Amino acid sequence: MAENHKSNTFAVLFWIGIVLVLGMGGVMAIFWKTLPPELPWFYSLPTGDSQLINKMWLIWILAGMGGLLVMTRLIARWAGKNDATVQTTIMIGGIMAVILMAASFVKIMMIFLNV
H, E, C per residue of 38-85? EEECCCCCCCCHHHEEECHHHHHHHHHHHHHHHHHHHHHHHHCCCCHH
Q: What is the pTM (predicted TM-score) of this model?
A: 0.82
Burial per residue of 21-48, b for 16 or more beta-carbon CB atoms within 10 angstroms, e otherwise: beebbeebeeeeeeeeeebbbeeeeeee
The answer on pLDDT for 115 being more than 80 is no
Rounded Cα–Cα distance for residues 52 and 74 (Å): 33
Instruction: Name the pLDDT band for 83 (thresholds 50, 70, 90).
Output: confident
Average pLDDT, integer, range 77-92 = 87
